[in-house]
Chain A
Amino acid sequence: MNIEQQDFYTQAILSMSALVGLASFLMLGQGRLLRLIFVFAIQGLLLTLSTAVAAYSLHNPHLYISAGLTLVLKVLFIPWMLRRQVLAMAMHRDVEALQNKTLVMLGGAGLTVFSYYVLHPVVQTASTVMVNALAVSLSVVLLGMLLMISHRQAVAHVVGFMSIENGLFFAAIVATNGMPMVVELGVAFDVLVAAILFGIFFLHIRTSIDSLDVDRLNRLNEVDQ
């Protein structure tokens, strides 16, 4: 079936999934923390929009609540909190030198192809939108992991972790047409708690090694001194 013959919902979800995937790639290549957080907020906004589109076209009003939660948490609160911490720790001027940026990007492209390869036989019988959107959300999860591996700042790790959650959330919307409200509330609350916990961890890492560069965690203080 060509895209012209699909309904509006399918077209919108496909466009959103392409943009969500692009946002993940942008995060992967981003060396500045504030911009990384900004792109993360954009990805959250795209998720909000796709949830709202799903709520509208599937006549599923409780998805509006979920969209609102996403908006408040992932577009406003968590980026605001991360941004405040980055500014407070004066890390916004550091440009993180990514080791081998090209290789990481190529790896990201490989992961995207891999997720298509894995998912194609699984959901072959389902609709086009399922295969594509699920493959994109799996690749968002994998790209989030790659982001955590390739960046050295702890803040970037948190953003990577949150974008993994974004990928799972997108998959949930597309595949199940909206999870039960209890599950969504639970997930949203978990994310919130995780964000706050990470904030406390930042403080601890910073007081013990005087930096948020996790590569320095490999060295033991006692041995080095």
Chain B
Amino acid sequence: MSWLLAIVQTLLFMALSPLLAGWLKWCKCHLQNRRAPSLLQPYRDLLKLTRKQPVVAEHASWIFTRAPYIIFSATVLAASVVPLIAVDLPTAASADVIVMVAFFGAARFFLALAGLDIGTAFGGMGSSREMTISSLAEPAMLMAIFTLTMTASTTNLSFAIEHVLNEGLVLRPSFVFALFALILVTIAETGRIPVDNPATHLELTMIHEAMILEYSGRHLALIEWASQVKLMLYGVLIANIFFPWGIAQSFSGAALGYGLLAIVGKLAVLALILALSETLFAKMRLFRVQEYLSFAYLLGLLGMLSHIILEAAR
């Protein structure tokens, strides 16, 4: 039963993530006085791409054609670790949050390799930028998550969220810092506006897009889908760690339905906030990104420190 639920939950991750991307685009268009595409547009795009024949460059090695599958499966495996509508997942027993970050690392490694593989200038530039940013973002993310795991004294996401739930409403200074740090890291890791512009057509400013310029057809569809799953995954992390109320603690139908409703509502609000910040802020210069990420790291570190100093038993 619980394994079935884990599989259903992972499938939900895959099914709902294009909808989240569509909703984000819809909010953004309305905020910027543009006509919004339908909420289902990302699904249509993915479907259209899967029907097209992928064009592979002459000099591409096997890495280039295998990478989309590896990236997609690593991202989906990472998603299976995160509790979406119910805590107490069987997958949680075998993989904790550090494994999740490692899955992301593996996906990113292959994406960067694929960018380098073709040998175009833009691909290599995108890979080098992506690696620079992620090497700064990853410690910041781990710091933010360690704050949670130190509070719950487990690195297991399911148990940690359950711990936060059972504790009730406790205002923790460390969680405030960790929340801000995780939001900053999310924006950097999913390539949203102050760091990277997902809708750009100018190759020189691209980061994520530069690596996948050569992809087409179903390969591109898989990579796009993986990045949508990744965006949703970060959203779920923020929503369920810091505002876990509503998530199902038992496997009854009503609790699960309520959990699904709660997470959809939370993600909709988070996407609205993201769309608002993307409308208000301009993309920053590439060399300012390390300043931004070191601020995120500082926030994570402060969260950890305030856990030790302000919340310690005396």
Give the B-binding residues of A (Cβ under 8 A): 1-4, 8, 11-12, 14-15, 17-19, 22, 116, 128, 131-132
- B177 in the interface, Cβ–Cβ < 8 Å? yes
Whether the Cβ atoms of B309 and A8 lie closer than 8 Å is no
CB-CB < 8 A to A15: which residues of B? 171-173, 176
8 other A-B residue contacts (CB within 8 Å) besides A14-B311, A15-B171: A3-B310, A11-B170, A14-B310, A18-B302, A22-B177, A22-B302, A128-B314, A131-B314
Whether the Cβ atoms of A11 and B313 lie closer than 8 Å is no
Q: How far is the CA of A159 from the CA of B285 in the complex (A)?
A: 29
**By CB atoms of chain B within 10 A, which of A14, A15, A18, A131 has the most?**
A18
Give the A-binding residues of B (Cβ under 8 A): 167, 170-174, 176-177, 302, 306, 309-311, 313-314
A-B contact pairs, 24 of them (CB 8 A): A1-B313, A1-B314, A2-B311, A2-B313, A3-B170, A3-B310, A4-B167, A11-B172, A12-B171, A14-B173, A14-B310, A14-B311, A15-B171, A15-B172, A17-B173, A17-B310, A18-B174, A18-B176, A18-B177, A18-B302, A19-B173, A19-B176, A22-B177, A131-B314
Q: Which residue of B lies closest to A10 (CB)?
A: B171
CB-CB < 8 A to A1: which residues of B? 313-314
Contact of A3 among B176, B177, B311 (CB under 8 A): B311
Q: Which residue of B lies closest to A9 (CB)?
A: B171
Q: How far is the CA of A12 from the CA of B172 in the complex (A)?
A: 8
Give the shortest distance, in Å, between A174 (CB) and chain B (any CB).
13
If A12-B171, A15-B171 touch, whether A132 touches B176 (CB-CB below 8 Å) is no
What is the predominant secondary structure among interface residues of chain A facing chain B? helix
CB-CB < 8 A to B310: which residues of A? 3, 14, 17-18, 132
Whether the Cβ atoms of B172 and A3 lie closer than 8 Å is yes
Give the shortest distance, in Å, between A171 (CB) and chain B (any CB).
16
Give the shortest distance, in Å, between A25 (CB) and chain B (any CB).
8
Top 4 nearest A-B pairs (CB, nearest first) are A18-B173, A11-B171, A3-B311, A15-B173
CB-CB < 8 A to A17: which residues of B? 173, 310
Q: How far is the CA of A132 from the CA of B177 in the complex (A)?
A: 17
Q: How far is the CA of A195 from the CA of B84 in the complex (A)?
A: 52
Q: How far is the CA of A22 from the CA of B179 in the complex (A)?
A: 14
CB-CB < 8 A to A131: which residues of B? 314
Give the shortest distance, in Å, between B262 (CB) and chain A (any CB).
23
Give the shortest distance, in Å, between A32 (CB) and chain B (any CB).
13
CB-CB < 8 A to B177: which residues of A? 18, 22
Whether the Cβ atoms of A8 and B173 lie closer than 8 Å is no
CB-CB < 8 A to A19: which residues of B? 173, 176
Q: Which residue of A lies closest to B176 (CB)?
A: A15
Q: Which residue of A lies closest to B172 (CB)?
A: A3
Give the shortest distance, in Å, between B227 (CB) and chain A (any CB).
32
CB-CB < 8 A to B313: which residues of A? 1-2
Give the shortest distance, in Å, between A140 (CB) and chain B (any CB).
15
CB-CB < 8 A to B173: which residues of A? 14-15, 17-19
Whether the Cβ atoms of B172 and A132 lie closer than 8 Å is no
CB-CB < 8 A to B314: which residues of A? 1, 128, 131
Q: Which residue of A lies closest to B311 (CB)?
A: A3
Q: How far is the CA of A17 from the CA of B309 in the complex (A)?
A: 12
Q: Which residue of B lies closest to A53 (CB)?
A: B171
Give the shortest distance, in Å, between B166 (CB) and chain A (any CB).
10
Give the shortest distance, in Å, between B282 (CB) and chain A (any CB).
15
Q: How far is the CA of A35 from the CA of B211 in the complex (A)?
A: 36
Give the shortest distance, in Å, between B75 (CB) and chain A (any CB).
33
**By CB atoms of chain A within 10 A, which of B174, B302, B311 has the most?**
B311
Give the shortest distance, in Å, between A178 (CB) and chain B (any CB).
20
If A15-B176, A18-B177, A128-B314 touch, whether A8 touches B302 (CB-CB below 8 Å) is no
CB-CB < 8 A to B176: which residues of A? 15, 18-19
Q: How far is the CA of A11 from the CA of B170 in the complex (A)?
A: 7
CB-CB < 8 A to A2: which residues of B? 311, 313
Whether the Cβ atoms of B306 and A4 lie closer than 8 Å is no
Give the shortest distance, in Å, between A42 (CB) and chain B (any CB).
13
Give the shortest distance, in Å, between A23 (CB) and chain B (any CB).
12
Q: How far is the CA of A18 from the CA of B174 in the complex (A)?
A: 8
Give the shortest distance, in Å, between A136 (CB) and chain B (any CB).
8
Q: How far is the CA of A2 from the CA of B312 in the complex (A)?
A: 6
**By CB atoms of chain A within 10 A, which of B174, B176, B309, B310 has the most?**
B310
Whether the Cβ atoms of A18 and B306 lie closer than 8 Å is yes
Q: How far is the CA of A22 from the CA of B311 in the complex (A)?
A: 16
CB-CB < 8 A to A12: which residues of B? 171
Q: Which residue of B lies closest to A129 (CB)?
A: B310
Q: Which residue of B lies closest to A18 (CB)?
A: B173
